[in-house]
């Protein structure tokens, strides 16, 4: 019984973490879109304009790199939860559902 309770709690926490990563990815997307230069020409993306302070110049690229890493973590967590659910254990399935609901709520 203790092992089953621990397994359900781990799956619950993985599901909460999956939802948190999904939300973090959305926040990074919004920040990346705000950091994009107004013109998407090659010159605008590689060379700073006159009068630009430069802190947002090129920052959109690092937001995209972070988004990619968040996506990889999200896919790995999703597959881990899916594999746990595919054990066809009702308690683990309920733990994944409860964790997803709790993560989305938070």
- Of residues 4 and 35, more confidently modeled: 4
For range 22-26, the mean pLDDT: 90
Confidence of residue 97 (pLDDT cuts 50, 70, 90): very high
pTM above 0.85, yes or no: no
Angle ∠(70,32,37) on CA atoms, nearest 5: 150
Residue 93 near residue 12 (C-beta atoms within 8 A): no
């Amino acid at each position: 019984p203790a092992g089953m309770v621990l397994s359900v709690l781990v799956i619950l926490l993985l599901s909460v973490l999956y939802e948190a990563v999904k939300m973090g990815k959305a926040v990074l997307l919004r920040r990346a879109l705000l950091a994009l230069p107004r013109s998407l020409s090659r010159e605008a993306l590689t060379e700073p304009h006159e009068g630009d302070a430069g802190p947002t110049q090129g920052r959109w690229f690092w937001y995209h790199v972070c988004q990619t890493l968040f996506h990889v973590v999200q896919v790995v967590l999703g597959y881990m939860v899916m594999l746990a659910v595919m054990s066809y254990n009702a308690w683990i399935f309920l733990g994944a559902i409860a964790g997803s609901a709790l993560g989305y709520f938070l």
